[in-house]
Each structure stands twice: as C-alpha cells, then as structure tokens.
A = this chain, B = another copy of it.
Amino acid sequence: MARQQRAIRTRRIFLQAAAEVFDEHGYDAATIAAILDRAGLTRGSLYFHFTSKEELARGVLQEAVTSDGVTPQTFKLQEWVDMALLLAYRLPREPLLSASIRLSVDPRARGLFGTRWPDWIVIGTELLTEAKERGELLPHVDPEATSRLVVGAWTGVQLVTESMAEPPDLVAEISALFELILPNAVVPGVLARLDTSPHRAARIMEQQAVAAS
C-alpha cells in the first residue's frame, strides 16, 4: 500500500513537472531532459511511469477535466456556475490546468492528442439538461448548444485575459461573463438566487481546505 501510494505520488510529480515545462515552452520545445530536471527524480523512475513525451502529454490532458470542489447545490445551475468559477480560480495556480489549455490551442499537439473540450461540453450539457428538467432554465435554452458556447467563451476569455499587459482577474472576468449570459437563459426566480460573485470560488476553496484539515 505504501509502495502504491509512493507510485501515485511519483506519477503526479512527473505530470506536474511535464505540465510546467509544456506550459512554459510549448509541446514541441519541451524535452524529457527539462521535465526530469524539473521533477528532480531519476530517468529510471520516469520511464517506469511514462515511456515518452507523448504519454506525458496524454497524462496531463487526462488530469485536466475536473469538477473537484463542486458540491451538490439547491440549483443545478449553481453547480454549473461553480465549476466555471472554480476552474477560473484554480487555473492560474495549477500548471496541469493551464498546460491542458496550451496543449489544446497548439494545433500540432491538438492533432496528436485531441482536446478535452468535448468532455467539458458533455459535463456542462448534463448539468444544464438536469437544470432544464427541474425548470431552472427558460424554455428556449438548448443545453448542448449553450454548454458548447460557454466552454468556448470561457476558453477565449482566459486566453485574452492572460495575454493582456495588466491582466484582469480571471475569476472576475468569468463572473462578468455569467452576468452577461445568465439573464437570458435562467428563469427569474432562480436567477435572483444564483451566486455568480467573483468571491465565491475562493470561499469554496477555503471551506474545503478547512473541512479537509
């Protein structure tokens, strides 16, 4: 068991190191040597877990779709909003998440590994479909089309934000995005009770850190 836990931890260290190197240099320019150097572990231990740079990239992408931190809420829409806000909060703090976007927008890496956008679209579609069944959404809303648009919008807002000389806070931008789109998708009684505030993500993360400690 201890050995298994150590193996999981080692695997994680390599994924983190690979994510950092992909994130800083891009997939093509990333080398196994740089990843080893970053991880501070031996080549033998790397090859026990991953046989190539390709496999590391696949591992990074696999880890990148996560609704960690999202807990059941009175409204399914709140869970959808929470997922997007938490991701905006975590992305600048977690290389695994930013590397996953970098691999997805890099056409060569995308050609090799695809993207995780379809998975995000499915998760959003499921939440929005349930929200619609519960009567939280206006009748004209198409869950799949809306999920797809918001995955795209989220990604682009992140890209444009990080490219700015003085980047605005990503959570605040995503919060503003929801304020722009929700009034035309959500029934009024639910809309008034959704929390889209930029502070929500940090609050959730802190509560969970306290609960876990």
Contact = CB atoms under 8 A, between A and B. Distances in A.
A49 interface: no
A153 B177 contact: yes
Copies of this chain, count? 2
The DSSP consensus for interface residues of chain A is helix
A157 B149 contact: yes
Nearest to A28: B28
Interface string A142-153: 000110110111
Contacts of A163: 104, 110, 114-115, 117
Interface string A81-111: 0000000000000000000001011111010
Interface residues of A, number: 43
* 10 shortest interchain CB distances as A-B pairs: A156-B156, A152-B157, A153-B153, A155-B156, A152-B160, A183-B184, A152-B156, A105-B105, A180-B181, A117-B160
Given A146-B180, A183-B184, 18 more contacts: A26-B106, A26-B107, A28-B28, A105-B105, A105-B106, A106-B106, A115-B163, A117-B160, A117-B163, A117-B164, A118-B164, A149-B173, A149-B177, A151-B160, A153-B157, A155-B159, A183-B183, A184-B184
